[in-house]
Structure 1
Amino acid sequence: MATHARSRSRQLLAAIAAAGCTAGALVALAAGGSASAATTPMRPFPQHTTYKVGVMPTASQSTRDAAVKKQYDSWKSTYLVHGCASNEYYVSTKGDGDAPNNGTVSEAQGYGMNIVPLMAGYDSSAKAEFDGLWQLVKDHTDQYGLMQWKLDGNTCKYADSGTPDGATDGDLDIGYGLILADQQWGGYSADAKAWLAKVYAHDVASDGHLKCEDDGPTNDTRPSDFMIDHLRAFAAYDTAHDWGKVVTRTEAIVNEFTSGYSSSAGLLSDFVVNANTSTPDPAPASYQENQPDNIVGYNSIRNPWHLGTDALLYGRTTAATSFNTAVKESNCLKSISGGDPKKVQPHIKLSCANANVSGDTQAEEAGDLAGPAAMAAGDQAWTDAIWAQLATNPFGDTYFGETLKMLVYVVMAGDYWNPADGGPTPTTTPPTTPPTTGPAGNQSYEAENAVLAGGTAVTSCTHCSGGAKISYLGSGGTATFNGITEPATGDYTLTVYFMSVGSSKSAVITANGVDQTVTFPQTPDYNTVVTQTVTVHLNGGGGNTIAFSNPSAGAPNIDRIVV
């Protein structure tokens, strides 16, 4: 087993010869686009996600989207490199010295494989770049088929001592990136599941806790690996392995550790030992690095980001551990910084006091990474302060800080979507004449034949089933489908063929006087019709009515319905 350490010049961190977790966050990807993969993204940036808890920055949505685009342009031009081979890309650690000659580490590669699919639609080259990132991973694997954690920028060969190995946090991010890519373009499912099988076999201990690396011991863990939103997505996506057990054990370690060592602040040390017991403890100060390792450092400063994001996506019930811990962490960081994110130190004692490590009391990412936790906590002023800092680089951060900022920007802008929620389903281009029946013999009703009111109008649409669609629905505009016929009273599946270009939109669907509000995801363009299904209760006979409206905002364009 090799020992990994983050070597950042400003931090003066040095590797020490000790068994245990790696210091750098590591990533390994396993996606290979198939010939049948789509080139048009199904979830193009920007995706305006409604989180399940918390607040958003007060900046407008358009302002937030523009900020993300600006940061992405800067990040991509500086750190995304076309090499080591003509069909490979890698994320350079330029400026931080994490790998020789500005090479890459699996942490960086994994971050890139998350960022690029999230920015597809804005970046027209995203799929080719993702495939290149994944190709480099596949070409540089260790004995278990996971990515070698550090590569030289000149030789592109393994750049650490000992037998090449990987690291859990990198492996997790790579797996998540493959799922994002599969939801974005399709064609990555087999690679994603094969990758997750390797991660489960080599990075997960028998009790379900996450090891620090694939060839490491089974009694320690690193809390910066606690990407619980990733684990939940794995559980939904890879049913061949018990990822639910990993979620449960990870949450248990958070609760057991904080109960014993940081009950009011919710902080976790950079490394944790006795992780395979009910009493996990902080690792010794010199366990892996000289940060020290028994308090919050450059590893665990990522916890407010990871746990806050899990809370935003899954809410205070499903993600109760993440939510409760993120709120405590947010309150702690705001308190010791006086509400100024620039004053959040990268090293913090578990009692919620600044560690004041000599020569290392400033790091932009320490404040930036508190953003998702502040949002989940519902702290508007603190959220806005962190959002404002994202537009700056007060301490001249390079690869590490700027890459983490990119990911935090996407979350705080509301553009971080959940790949486990399914998303819109593409449809084939419909025929030029309207069909009389829908799937499985169900009846199809063209939207242009509905009763329109309040400004809703029929507009031409070459890719719609009748050559037309209804537009200007919502904001007072309505569409009512009369004469819906069913053989018997009961619950029926209503399939709506729609377009929602520019952003997701909501509509109130009223079936025989019963309302339900449905959110329709953003669609890529006016050449792509997608579907959304809902359940409606209808009566036997032909007297049923289904109406679409939105009294306060625009609703999607509708091609037809099938019920």
Structure 2
Amino acid sequence: MQRRLFLRSGSASAVALALAACGGGGGGSAASDLATGVDNASTGIVGASTARRSVDGPNSYPFGSRLDPYVAGILPSAAAGQMDSVIRSSYDAWKARAIVDVPTVPGGKAVKFGNSGTYLTVSEGMGYGMLITVLMAGHDAEARAIFDGLLATVRARPAYSIPDVGRWLLDWRLTIDGSSTDAAGGGWNAMDGDLDIAMALLMADRQWGSTGAWNYKQEAIETINAMKAWNMKENGTTKGMATPHVSRTSDYMTGHFRAFKRATGDALWDRAIDRSYELIDRMQTVFSPNCGLMPDFIIHTDTDNPIPSPGGYGDFVDTEGYYYANAQRNPWRWGTDYVTSGDTRWRDVCNKLVGFVQGDTGGEASRISAGYHLDGYAMDRSYSPEGMIGPMLCGAMVDPRFQAFLDNLWNWNAGNFTTDYYDSELQLIPMIVASGNWWNP
């Protein structure tokens, strides 16, 4: 059902120009950040902040405050204030490129989909934008207004082809003027976008409360329940692709599932965590025993013998059985879950994957391939793929043995931030996580 256009990132010089053009506080960012303390991550221990300043304004969790220390894992060795400065500049550059008005939705905003002259946005981008803006409140005084503009577009463009619950899901691709058409998204949803949208709504409830123009908490619960009805099986397996036995590994957002369980009390989301681990453990153990890799898509999830997709089932491309443009997001999701939940299953999954990549590259982020076959064959080393390198940051947070690799990954991402769609979001959000600035609703 869903095809994506993946863009190669721009040059480092172009990124530097974009950062310079934004200045230090573009986008109306009047509020200063909190640079409260985090213990030196080089010790391998993430510590709680010992000194906090009071915060004026409506943001309950302003960027830089680190109110919830991580329960496990490590951080880069860079100072917290230094990391925050990099993220602020990167966010300002991202915002200047990414956030656009939607001509057909009053007050609507969107995250621009690359340089396409045909499509304005896709649902994954909308989810990324909502996560980023709720996290950057306290730096950007416009964060809530942007978030609400994105939400206005989400609700104005429902997945109209999905019966009963489609109004709580997002049509996965919009035309250049922000309209829904059968030739664009067709009124179908993409689970990854709706997962991030629901998570961002729960975070917005914590950040701003739900008594204003939007009841963020109720909007989140409606979307969570709609995904349960359309995108999930009772045993916790994700579905909703063109073929129901197909499952995309980057939809296994286990940290989100924990938040959905807390918000709804529904045990389905516990089963979703268990089932995600069961499928990924099988992919690593049976199909990538020496590398710990996993494919973009798994098929035959309705049998006792799920296998990597041979291609043509999920995004309808030949690369579905490789660690590639979808699965590259997995270390971000699972590393984030481990450092905030302490669930050692996801530490172990990341250990296998990151251990292979560290060995394959000699610990040099710039040598990470644009993709890998499950036997470890590097698909393309002709450039340094920002969207592959960014998520690896979070995977390397799970174990002190990756400290040097984590530092290399942080330094590379900090010095090579792109503003190209997809790559930029896959750098910016993992950088926020790696700096200790992620938090759960």
Q: CA RMSD in A?
A: 2.1
Give the match for residue 231 of structure 2: 203
Give the counterpart letter for 1:47 in structure 2: S
Amino acid at match of 1:118: L
| Residues 179/39 of structure 1: CA separation in 2 closer, same or farther (3 Å cut) | farther
The answer to whether the Cα contact below 8 Å between 1:274 and 1:281 also exists between their aligned partners in 2 is yes
Deviation at 1:330, TM superposition (A): 0.9
The residue aligned with 2:109 is: 89
Q: 1:116 to 1:276 in 2, by over 3 A?
A: same
Match in the other structure for 1:113: 130
Task: Determine which of 286, 291, 297 is the counterpart of 1:271.
Answer: 297
Instruction: Name the CA distance, whole Å, in 2 between partners of 1:391 and 1:138.
Output: 34
* Aligned AA (1:137): V
Distance 1:397 1:135, change over 3 A: closer
Structure 2 residue 329 is matched with structure 1 residue 302: yes
As a proportion of its length, which structure holds more helix? Answer: 2
Q: Which runs of 5+ in 1 are unaligned?
A: 12-37, 420-563
Displacement of 1:94 in angstroms is 2.6
Residues in 2 aligned to 1:83 and 1:123: alpha-carbon distance in whole angstroms: 21
Instruction: Give the C-alpha shift of residue 245 in structure 1.
Output: 1.5
Residue 68 of structure 1 pairs with residue 87 of structure 2:
yes
- Residue identity matched to 2:72: V
SS at match of 1:370: helix
Residues 94, 419 of structure 2: 8 Å contact kept: no
- What are the Cα deviations for residues 446-486 of structure 1, in whole angstroms up to 9, with x where unaligned? xxxxxxxxxxxxxxxxxxxxxxxxxxxxxxxxxxxxxxxxx
**Alignment partners' CA distance in 1, 2:82 and 2:185:** 48
- After TM superposition, the structure 1 = structure 2 runs for residues 246-265 of structure 1, keeping only pairs within 5 Å, are 246-265=272-291
Q: Which of 98, 102, 123 is the matching residue for 2:140? A: 123
Richer in strand (by share) = 1
Is contact 2:158-2:171 (8 Å) kept?
A: yes
SS state at 1:195 partner: helix
Instruction: State the match for 1:388 in structure 2.
Output: 411
Within-5 A mapping of 1:97-496: 97=116, 100-101=117-118, 103-143=120-160, 144-145=166-167, 146-158=169-181, 160=183, 163-187=186-210, 188-213=216-241, 216-240=242-266, 242-287=268-313, 288-290=315-317, 292-315=319-342, 319-356=343-380, 362-378=384-400, 379-393=402-416, 398-419=420-441
* Bigger Rg over Cα: 1
Measured in 1, the distance between the counterparts of 2:240 and 2:322 equals: 17
1:315-344 deviation digits (Å, cap 9, x = unpaired): 1xxx22211011111111111122111211
Counterpart AA for 2:80:
Q
Question: Hey, what's the Cα distance between the residues in 1 that align with 2:351 and 2:123?
Answer: 30
Q: Is 1:77 paired with 2:113?
A: no
* Cα deviation, residue 161, structure 1: 5.4
> How far has the Cα of 1:170 moved from its partner?
0.9
CA separation of 1:80 and 1:159: change in aligned 2, threshold 3 A: farther
Q: CA deviation at 1:86?
A: 3.4
How far apart in 1 are the matches of 2:344 and 2:243?
Answer: 29
Instruction: Tell me the CA shift for residue 162 of structure 1.
Output: 7.5
Mapped to 2, the partners of 1:77 and 1:158 lie a distance apart of 28
Specify the code of the residue in structure 1 equivalent to 2:341. Y
Rounded Cα–Cα distance in structure 1 between residues aligned with 2:307 and 2:220: 33
- C-alpha contact 1:152 1:159 (8 A) present in aligned 2: no
Contact 1:114–1:173 (CA under 8 A) maintained in structure 2: yes
Q: Distance in 2 between matches of 1:39 and 1:160?
A: 44
Tell me, in whole angstroms, the C-alpha distance in 2 between the residues paired with 1:405 and 1:44.
Answer: 20
Paired amino acid for 1:409: M
Match of 2:422, SS state, is helix
AA aligned opposite 2:269: W
Structure 2 gap ranges (5+):
10-55, 161-165, 211-215
1:124-182 C-alpha deviation (Å, 9 max, x unpaired): 11111111111100000113221011112235333745842011111111110110101
Partner of 1:47 in structure 2? 65
Q: TM-score scaled to structure 2, two decimals?
A: 0.81
State the aligned residue count: 380
Q: Which amino acid aligns with 2:148?
A: D
Counterpart AA for 1:260? V
Taking every aligned residue pair, what percent have the same amino acid on both sides?
Answer: 28
User: Would you say the 8 A contact 2:249–2:295 is kept in 1?
Assistant: yes
Q: How far 1:206 sits from its partner (Å)?
A: 2.9
Counterpart-to-counterpart distance in 1, 2:223 and 2:119: 27
**CA contact 1:286–1:293 (8 Å) conserved in 2:** yes
Q: 1:76 to 1:217 in 2, by over 3 A?
A: same
| Higher RCO, 1 vs 2 (CA within 8 Å, ≥6 residues apart) | 2
TM-score by length of 1: 0.64
SS across alignment from 1:207: coil
Distance change (3 Å), C-alpha of 1:283 and 1:129: same
- In structure 2, the CA distance between the partners of 1:264 and 1:309, relative to structure 1 (3 Å rule), is farther
